[in-house]
Structure 1
């Protein structure tokens, strides 16, 4: 039997019906059709830290935060802030203290109910001044340091292969629920 995975939700009903019909005509048992869930492809800050080989400067308590959007802070802070949504990762050189302060202001205005910025990666191996680093440490936002230029740092994050890891409890629960909902587990057990 087969399980079809990562079916776009907008086309799920149609694909489910067509796949079952087409494969069953060929004598292939369809055990399930699972929809695509974008959140399962989000890396955690911990995964970015470990796999890209960055250094952790502060914020170790929030390393399990997920990243849904990556923003390269190469524009004026007031323009970059418009692109920050929940679970964003900001990549910016460490000497762009104007950008870092703008992100901190955005975080404080959010009243810490939800961390809009999942993390910050400082590029070019530049660590901000002590006052800015203290503000970052006080915020709880994970801050990583990359030694390479901004393009290379952002490319290394973009090129990550995101997998569900043992510490990804939320992703594991989500995947288990998706399997329970969309896979005929009884048929699999009977076929063993």
Structure 2
């Protein structure tokens, strides 16, 4: 049953067709635009994916971060009903958890204030289906409009979006296309956009691919790899956009590294000449494997060029896999990403169209 009549807030449920489409980034940039226009907003994530250090408070880590960035008071932050972890799924499948989460969702939102309550859904449209918390189920339960974030790599995505429209009907407010490759931008604008809009699917934003948004800080890599920081701990805020493996001969190394940009270079601790070559190019950190301490020459040079050197107990393959998993899959936490997203949304997101589609009135017409 939908929320009671006393609820006057509008609900916007932000979902996606696939994981890592950039929902949190879009939510943050969009919320900032709403706030600039005088709208009182709240934010929540009923289906948690990022367990906080203090899970007992019932708030997903992304909610905590966005709440702090947006300066939202506690009564504008929604409770996380459950965290989507293996243990949670096992209890549900084994029949130990028979909770009906649909009324719990409605109840958890009753005390939230704000003209617009933005809720972030799970990784895909069907994430949370076992708990009655998929996008279609939540939208029905709280009478929410749905904004779909889609990582749009090619025109093949169009058919999937049309299918979502058929499933959600008038609840689909529109879509935001993200991570569009440069070579696909023209076709997306001239072919995909008009095709979708002719079928009642407004395109509120087209976000170009950004290496910065897909990057990861050296500090995050150090944490994921459980690495020892050998020098320049003060530069762990450097952002890594690509990965190179220093396994070639010295003569090829400099040319190989010069082709990269803002790299993490993984190589053996005994490959001094390879390490020196990497430090002369666009390297953001050296990651040394093999349990071999680097030459003092390397530490001295790394100090000079302000490049952190990390030492890991992992083998090269495991290290590379961990870094590749992090690139493009990390949460929006670094201030430089927040600022970049703010600018990206101000340039590429049609905030006035979204406000009109939601039926909201703003105190400020232009920021």
Secondary structure at the counterpart of residue 285 of structure 2: strand
Contact 1:78 1:102 in 2 (8 A): no
Judged with a 3 Å threshold, the aligned counterparts in structure 2 of structure 1 residues 24 and 121 are, in CA distance, closer, same or farther, namely same
Count of residue correspondences: 182
Secondary structure at the counterpart of residue 181 of structure 1: helix
User: What aligned pairs does 1:141-156 form with structure 2 within 5 A after superposition?
Assistant: 141-156=307-322
Larger radius of gyration: 2
| Aligned mates of 1:172, 1:70 — CA distance in 2 | 23
Q: Give the aligned partner of residue 197 of structure 2.
A: 24
Unaligned runs of 5+ in 1: 108-115
Cα shift at 1:130: 4.1
Judged with a 3 Å threshold, the aligned counterparts in structure 2 of structure 1 residues 129 and 29 are, in CA distance, closer, same or farther, namely closer
Q: Give TM-score, length-normalised by structure 2.
A: 0.45
Cα shift at 1:135: 4.0
RMSD: 2.2
Contact 2:217 2:240 in 1 (8 A): yes
Unaligned runs of 5+ in 2: 1-173, 361-367
Q: Give the aligned partner of residue 185 of structure 2.
A: 12
1:71 aligns with 2:237: no
Secondary structure at the counterpart of residue 238 of structure 2: coil
Q: Give TM-score, length-normalised by structure 1.
A: 0.82
Cα shift at 1:138: 4.3
Judged with a 3 Å threshold, the aligned counterparts in structure 2 of structure 1 residues 127 and 28 are, in CA distance, closer, same or farther, namely same
Judged with a 3 Å threshold, the aligned counterparts in structure 2 of structure 1 residues 19 and 153 are, in CA distance, closer, same or farther, namely same
Q: Relative CO higher for 1 or 2, CA cutoff 8 Å, sep ≥ 6? A: 1
Cα shift at 1:20: 2.7
Match of residue 332, structure 2, among 119, 142, 165: 165
Contact 1:164 1:172 in 2 (8 A): no
